[in-house]
């Protein structure tokens, strides 16, 4: 997965032809969210579709009865959150959190629905992207069922720094463990092994990747499979 150029653009929107992108741009507004902000809560209506830009990244979390919120997929400037293919204001199923703050482009769903009708290329792009989102979800389910905590942790950290274009992730060990649906002690032992091998270092409230290639070798191949699907469907957007 290549590090994307950091700017205030969204790579998904850049896939549109200039006239379609201009039509969409007139309905977009720029907003900033800090790390930890919540875009959607389960059951609340989705009023806006958000397009992360630059180093901003978000995750969808499913809240379990045991009180644990488990991450399903990670989304950065390659994608969008909320109302991608649905029509009208529908309730959110999962919680969406901002993991790394930054600028977002957002559009009201009523405007997005209108643009899908008036500009078929916009609807076509969103449909193709939704197929890629499903690929991420499917791969995540399989990954969680089969791969080790170490493989999953390495996969997540590699994906996060690739999207942000920077080696440091603002996250505690407790947060990483919760996202992966494992106990803190398991996550701590994995991170200690990575630190011992010179792959990363931890600081208060953050994790810094020192050897991304070495960490990628410890990860499972799930990111590669999703990357290949994005390549076929959206020309390497992932």
Angle (deg, nearest 10), helices 184-196 and 173-180: 120
Fold annotation for 13-127: Jelly Rolls (2.60.120)
CA dihedral 152, 158, 235, 82 (to 10 degrees): 70
- For the stretch 28-46, pLDDT in tens is 999 999 998 999 999 999 9
Q: Is the pLDDT of residue 210 over 90?
A: yes
- Cα 5 to chain centroid distance, Å, stands at 16
Q: What is the mean pLDDT of residues 134-148?
A: 92
Instruction: Single out the residue of 86, 107, 99, 95 nearest to residue 39, CA to CA.
Output: 95
CATH 2.60.120.10 range(s) for the chain read 13-127
Q: What is the mean pLDDT of residues 138-166?
A: 91
Sheet holding 69-75, edge to edge: 38-40, 95-100, 57-63, 69-75
Q: What is the mean pLDDT of residues 107-121?
A: 93
Q: Is the pLDDT of residue 227 over 50?
A: yes
* From the candidate CATH numbers 3.30.420.40, 1.10.260.40, 1.10.10.10, 3.40.50.300, the one assigned to the domain spanning 148-219: 1.10.10.10
Mean pLDDT of the chain: 88
Taking a C-beta distance cutoff of 8 angstroms, is the pair 71, 59 a contact? yes
- For the stretch 59-97, pLDDT in tens is 998 888 877 777 888 999 999 999 888 877 789 999 999
CATH 1.10.10.10 range(s) for the chain read 148-219
Sheet holding 200-203, edge to edge: 168-169, 206-209, 200-203
Distance, CA of 6 to CA of 215 (rounded, Å): 22
Q: Is the pLDDT of residue 8 over 80?
A: no
Taking a C-beta distance cutoff of 8 angstroms, is the pair 52, 96 a contact? no
Taking a C-beta distance cutoff of 8 angstroms, is the pair 130, 163 a contact? no
Q: What is the mean pLDDT of residues 132-157?
A: 93
Distance, CA of 18 to CA of 22 (rounded, Å): 6
């Amino acid at each position: 997965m290549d590090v994307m150029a950091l700017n205030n653009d969204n790579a998904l929107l850049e896939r549109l032809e200039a006239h379609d992108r201009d039509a969409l741009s007139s309905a977009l507004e720029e907003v900033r969210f800090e790390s930890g902000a919540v875009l959607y809560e389960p059951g609340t209506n989705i009023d806006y579709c958000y397009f992360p830009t630059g180093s901003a990244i978000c995750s969808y979390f499913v809240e379990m009865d045991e009180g644990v919120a488990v991450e399903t997929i990670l989304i950065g400037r390659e994608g969008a959150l909320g109302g991608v293919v649905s029509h009208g204001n529908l309730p959110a199923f999962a919680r969406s959190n901002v993991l790394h703050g930054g600028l977002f482009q957002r559009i009201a769903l009523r405007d997005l629905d209108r643009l899908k009708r008036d500009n078929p290329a916009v609807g076509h792009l969103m449909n193709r992207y939704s197929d890629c989102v499903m690929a991420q979800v499917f791969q995540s389910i399989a990954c969680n069922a089969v791969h080790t905590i170490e493989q999953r942790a390495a996969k997540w950290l590699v994906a996060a720094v690739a999207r942000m274009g920077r080696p440091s992730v603002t996250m505690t060990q407790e947060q990483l463990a919760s996202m992966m649906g494992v106990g803190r002690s398991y996550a701590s032992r994995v991170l200690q092994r990575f630190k011992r091998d010179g792959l990363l270092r931890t600081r208060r409230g953050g994790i810094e990747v020192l050897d991304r290639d070495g960490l990628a070798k410890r990860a499972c191949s799930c990111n590669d499979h999703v990357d290949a699907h994005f390549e076929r469907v959206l020309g390497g957007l992932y």
